[in-house]
A = this chain, B = another copy of it.
């Protein structure tokens, strides 16, 4: 290669480098909208502004494309989680509202669609489910669990399996996000995620409290 690495590459070149990302972005939308089965490669291609064949230049099969999408979303979320990671030292009464508010925000982003998609296809792509679990769900659950355990050690929180307590804390937000995702088009009355985060924080913290710090 005679090209120097860091000088501004010609626009055409830049475009080329972005292609895969553009395709993944388009695929994210299409898969999220229709699910794996109903998504058509040509829709992805058109949305990305390339030809169908070009998609196959970067992703040998539809499955590969799907995996790439799932991984991308995972890594994006992984970033967000890192932010939270620093936090488990803080008291639960501070951490829980923060976490749930963040979840409320996420719930309004595209992540709900992804969750829906992964849930729907988890039987067809168990390996993807595993990736998602290992790199997102387990991490988050781990942070939450260990924060709870620490609080228990400090005597702030009642005894009990900290992993199940994590479900008590996080479950309602998940339910809310999915509810909006699944019934969003059904004239159903949708829960207000921020209000839910606020109110559930109070309830669950009250329910967990040993009264030691009240």
A residues with CB within 8 A of B: 32-38, 116-124, 126, 129-130, 133-134, 137-138, 158, 160-161, 163-165, 167-168, 170-176, 178-179, 181-183, 185-189, 191-192, 195-196, 199-200, 202-208
Q: Are A199 and B129 in contact (CB under 8 A)?
A: no
Known: A133-B188, A170-B175, A206-B206. A199 touches B122 (CB 8 A): no
Q: Are A199 and B168 in contact (CB under 8 A)?
A: yes
- Nearest to A178 among chain B residues (CB) is B119
Q: Are B200 and A164 in contact (CB under 8 A)?
A: yes
* Other A-B pairs beyond A167-B196, A171-B200, A204-B204, 10, CB < 8 Å: A35-B36, A35-B124, A37-B38, A122-B181, A126-B186, A134-B186, A158-B203, A160-B199, A167-B200, A203-B208
A158 to B200, CA, bound (A): 12
Cβ contacts under 8 Å, A33 to chain B:
123
Q: Which of B117, B120, B163, B181 contacts A191 (CB 8 A)?
A: B163
- Nearest to A159 among chain B residues (CB) is B199
Known: A34-B123, A35-B123, A37-B35. A172 touches B182 (CB 8 A): no
Cβ contacts under 8 Å, A181 to chain B:
119, 122
Q: Are B164 and A122 in contact (CB under 8 A)?
A: no
A121 to B33, CA, bound (A): 10
The listed residue with most B CB atoms (<10 A of its CB), out of A118, A120, A126, A130, is A120
